[in-house]
Structure 1
Amino acid sequence: MIKTIIFDFGDVFINLDKPATLRELSQLGDFQFNNSIQDLNNQYEVGKITTEEFIRSYHNLLPQATEQQLIEAWNAILLDFPKYRLDFVKHLAATGDYKLILLSNTNELHINWIKQHISFYEEFKSCFDSFYLSHEIQYRKPNSDIFEFVLQEHQIQPTETLFVDDTKENTDAAQKLGVHIWNNNPKADDVIDLFTSKSDLF
């Protein structure tokens, strides 16, 4: 029986345009994505470097771009957060039937944008028993240590836990630890259909 539900944030609750950042950065100069840039992004995502250091690194790559242009390009991935999804998680929280945890690879610039543009962000956050962002806890998906951290922190059993994430690499990692998963497809699935899509678990 499921007692804990762990939710991803992007493309589960807030809609994303994942190619947008690379597209926007490419318009600011000669920009080629490579492994060193991926490593830079990952370092920022787990809070190993500050926002100032992160922007400075991108400015070195794109010296013609302004700081504001770089921030806007970085945040271009973020779209809208349909309010009906807030209503869904509010109702779920109100039942008290499950421990609710948010577990997201989210950096400081992205969460600051969300706080500024999503008027009900604090209301959304309050629906969860715990709200984990990668840059704050210094772990990121799909590394197994982030899942082990949550399981140990809350003393929860993998077999009584469901993890919802749109990225298969992430759900595969959780599944290896014995956690039940729903790898939702943002183009075809909606989080509000969780109990229909995974009816076998509830």
Structure 2
Amino acid sequence: MKLFIFDVGGVLCDGTSVVLPIAGHLGLSEREFLTLAQKAGLRELQIGKISAKDFWKNFSKFFGRTIERDLWAEFFKPVLKPDTVRLIEELKTKYRVVAGTNTIESHYLIHSQQGHYDVFDRVYASHQIGLMKPQKEFFLYILESESAKPEETFFVDDTIENVAAAREINIRSLLFTSAEKLKQELASLGID
């Protein structure tokens, strides 16, 4: 192995899922909120084509009520998972370890301000590179940037679709459930 790619939300940090709190704040079901969010440009927000301000302006039109604050930032309360941080720090003594994350600018800034990305050698954020998981191009972009081959790379994510997409291009991948299980999996592969 030469390169490890880690997801951030659900792997490095808890408290990153904001859909339910925002939906509840707006008096919507999760499904209703996501339907409006898709129409308002959620994907475009995640690949950096529009800003959070533009997103909420679009969302307000569909919602019928003006949203003036960035609720993405307001409800975002990430907390580091110490066991994952320790595991990444151990891996970094022998390997290059980067983040590969679907995110938006306001979440990226909060993570940065709180020092969450400091554990990584580099961060590949969807809103900055214009690509997002599970697109194969997302992984290929990282591999090219890191001069790594798929078979030299290990990917960790808590979303099965992302893990499956990485596996399709021969990146060894693991669906994350806990740092302890990840450590056991790596040990079984001879990676300490």
After TM superposition, the score normalised by the length of structure 2 is 0.83
Letter aligned with residue 121 of structure 2:
D
The separation in 1 between residues aligned to 2:34 and 2:83, in whole angstroms, is 38
The separation in 2 between residues aligned to 1:177 and 1:165, in whole angstroms, is 15
2:47 counterpart residue number: 46
Q: What is the Cα deviation at residue 148 of structure 1?
A: 1.0
Which whole-Å deviations, capped at 9, do the CAs of 1:95-148 have from their partners, x for residues lacking one?
Answer: 1x11111100010121223345x3xx1xx4343232111000110000011111
**Kept after mapping to 2: 8 A contact 1:29/1:62:** no
Quick one: which of 95, 99, 102 aligns to 1:102? 99
1:76 counterpart residue number: 75
Alpha-carbon distance change, 6 to 17 in structure 1, aligned in 2, over 3 angstroms: closer
**SS across alignment from 1:198:** helix
1:197 counterpart residue number: 185
Letter aligned with residue 140 of structure 1:
M
Alpha-carbon distance change, 75 to 12 in structure 1, aligned in 2, over 3 angstroms: farther
- Structure number with higher relative contact order (C-alpha < 8 Å, ≥ 6 residues apart): 1
The separation in 2 between residues aligned to 1:66 and 1:113, in whole angstroms, is 20
Structure 1 position 133 matched with structure 2 position 131: no
Q: Count matched residues.
A: 187
- Aligned-residue CA RMSD in angstroms? 2.5
Q: Percent identity?
A: 26
Alpha-carbon distance change, 194 to 151 in structure 1, aligned in 2, over 3 angstroms: same
**Kept after mapping to 2: 8 A contact 1:25/1:73:** no
Bigger CA drift: 36-45 or 5-14?
A: 36-45
Alpha-carbon distance change, 4 to 73 in structure 1, aligned in 2, over 3 angstroms: closer
Which stretches in structure 1 are left out of the alignment for 5+ residues? Answer: none
**Kept after mapping to 2: 8 A contact 1:75/1:110:** no
The separation in 1 between residues aligned to 2:102 and 2:28, in whole angstroms, is 27
1:144 counterpart residue number: 136
Letter aligned with residue 37 of structure 2:
I
The separation in 2 between residues aligned to 1:144 and 1:193, in whole angstroms, is 26
Q: How does 1:24-43 map to 2 (within 5 A)?
A: 24-29=22-27, 32-33=32-33, 37-38=37-38, 40-43=41-44
1:3 counterpart residue number: 2
**SS across alignment from 1:131:** strand
2:14 counterpart residue number: 15
Which stretches in structure 2 are left out of the alignment for 5+ residues? Answer: none
